[in-house]
Structure 1
Amino acid sequence: MPDHEDIETRIRDTYDSLSPGARRAADHLLRHPDDAAVYSATEIAAASGVSKATVSRLFRTLGYVDAQEVREHARALRSTGVPVSVGPTADLAAHLRAEHAALDRMVDGLADGRLDRAAELLASAREVVVVGFRNSYPVALHLRQQLTQARGGVRIAPAPGQSVGEELGGLGAEDAVVLVGFRRRPRGFGSVLAALTRRGVPIVVVADPEFGSSGTVTLVAPVTSLSAFDSYAAAMSLANLLAAAVLARDLRGGRARVEGITALYGELGELE
């Protein structure tokens, strides 16, 4: 079976062919999918009311050698961003430590001056386009909102209902693109990066540590968390740092822009 399929998908694909006992174990795993990433075959058998041998046969039917391979597969999927829990997540202190560690790694990665290089590209560009797909779009949208306070000519792409080509057509060496792409990137992400590179458009990539590129300024934010889902706390913090660094390139002009926007908020009655 394909390695990218999680145990729930494998169960649903083979459910009709399972024995009654195996179905009881499968039903338990469908109700408690996190158990596959944490517990042994003996523990799963006890929880589902079947024998350990039944659980072992179920795992073999699903394409695994044993429960250890099930756990390893679940953890491997989690490392690519698949939302599979690998243990209890109620320990808030542990969650906080993990978030702090992610922020520390992000800051350490900026120590070589790449944040300044990225800010210079964005501050000097004629137009800045912030591009984000799927789970990266909220980070891109937040970064665009921050950057537009610091300078004019900033837009988000793709806009709803628009294709990528028409959003990026006409960009050149005088412009800049921030390409936000965290793991589980869509298939066309690399094509967008390559097309922009061929056209000589300066690119700042904001991504997770697993991403690798050349010819771009790459800013890395870890997203792995203790829970079943990736955390974008470091990514949002990175958006803050990047926008602030752009603002610092023209502090007087940026302040004037912020004051003008704030005055317009009041004139339009948009904020409380």
Structure 2
Amino acid sequence: MSLRIQERISRLTRSEQKLAKVILASPTIIETHSATELAALANVSKATTARFFRALGYADFEEVKVQAREERDRTQPYSYSVSPNGNPVLGRKISEHLELELVNLNRTFEEMDPDALRQASRMIADAPRVWFLGLDSNIWFARYARAVFLRLRHNVNAVNVSEGTLAEDLAMMGPRDVLIVMAQGPQSKDLNLILSHARTTRVNIIMITDHTNLAQAKRFADMVLRCHIANYGLIETHTTMVSLLRLLAVSYVGHVGEAAVRRAGLIDDINEELERFG
């Protein structure tokens, strides 16, 4: 449902876009509200609501509800209860936690296009500089990715890793550089501004993201690598994103071969020297 909306949102009328924003802000609202109630929440007419769902390819609102339930069961197998004092209780077993993480990993890598992965590796290998970007809670992804790729090649940077240097970092980007953006979960409006500027510098943009940011990724990125991140509902999972970043690094090593091995060996030798005389 969310993906359908994001893919078509630019073609919707202004009233339909109001309804789209209500649903995107809380996708589970489809299961808990009627079409009339959704229309009232978005301050649009019932006729607009009917047109909106037909524009998304649904026969009627009942079909919408059926898909919403199926999507919830497929992507959100975890649920939580509420204790007598009102605090959420995540009442699931370790085995269920493992099952969900495996589902996320399986879906991500089963859908992964090997050609896209090879193309991303070539883009990184050919880039004068590689930049990693993660905003807000995604910033540590950028730091992790930079640490991994620094062992494999030169000129690897994390955007705004020193707080307050965003403009300076953006000013250093140039043609054929690669900007790898990690966008998991809700993103601030700053990301649109950063990506818009990056496009003017003719950098190649790779976005690693989940389904909630696909529309934005398709608008700005030269390549999109999608992660599945179904979670408890309260606590984010980072397993898939980290695993995909590692796979990208492995693919890069496979592309450049001995060059990455030599660099990693050189770094190990330097560390050994520093420890010896430290």
- TM-score (normalised: structure 1): 0.65
CA distance in structure 2 between the aligned counterparts of 1:86 and 1:193, rounded to whole angstroms: 37
Instruction: Pick the structure with greater CA Rg.
Output: 1
1:261 matches 2:267: yes
Query: Secondary structure in 2 aligned to 1:165?
Result: helix
Of Structure 1 and Structure 2, which has the larger fraction of its residues in helix? 2
Tell me what 1:220 maps to: 226
Q: 1:246 to 1:139 in 2, by over 3 A?
A: same
* Contact 1:85/1:228 (<8 A) preserved: no
Letter in 2 for 1:251: G
Query: Secondary structure in 1 aligned to 2:154?
Result: coil
Letter in 1 for 2:205: I
Tell me what 1:58 maps to: none
Deviation of residue 190 (structure 1)? 1.2
Tell me what 1:67 maps to: none
Letter in 2 for 1:111: D
Tell me what 2:103 maps to: 101
Query: Secondary structure in 1 aligned to 2:99?
Result: helix
Tell me what 1:180 maps to: 182
CA distance in structure 2 between the aligned counterparts of 1:89 and 1:230, rounded to whole angstroms: 16
Q: 1:267 to 1:227 in 2, by over 3 A?
A: farther
Unaligned runs of 5+ in 2: 1-20, 26-40, 42-67, 73-77, 82-89
CA distance in structure 2 between the aligned counterparts of 1:93 and 1:243, rounded to whole angstroms: 29
Deviation of residue 112 (structure 1)? 5.1
Unaligned runs of 5+ in 1: 7-62, 64-74
CA distance in structure 2 between the aligned counterparts of 1:109 and 1:195, rounded to whole angstroms: 30
Letter in 1 for 2:170: L
Letter in 1 for 2:122: E
2:207 to 200, 205, 208: 205
Percentage of identical aligned residues: 18
State the 4+ residue runs in structure 1 displaced beyond 4 angstroms.
none
Deviation of residue 185 (structure 1)? 1.1
Aligned residue pairs total 196
Query: Secondary structure in 2 aligned to 1:173?
Result: coil
2:258 to 238, 252, 255: 252
Q: What value does the CA root-mean-square deviation take over the aligned residues?
A: 2.8
CA distance in structure 2 between the aligned counterparts of 1:141 and 1:109, rounded to whole angstroms: 26
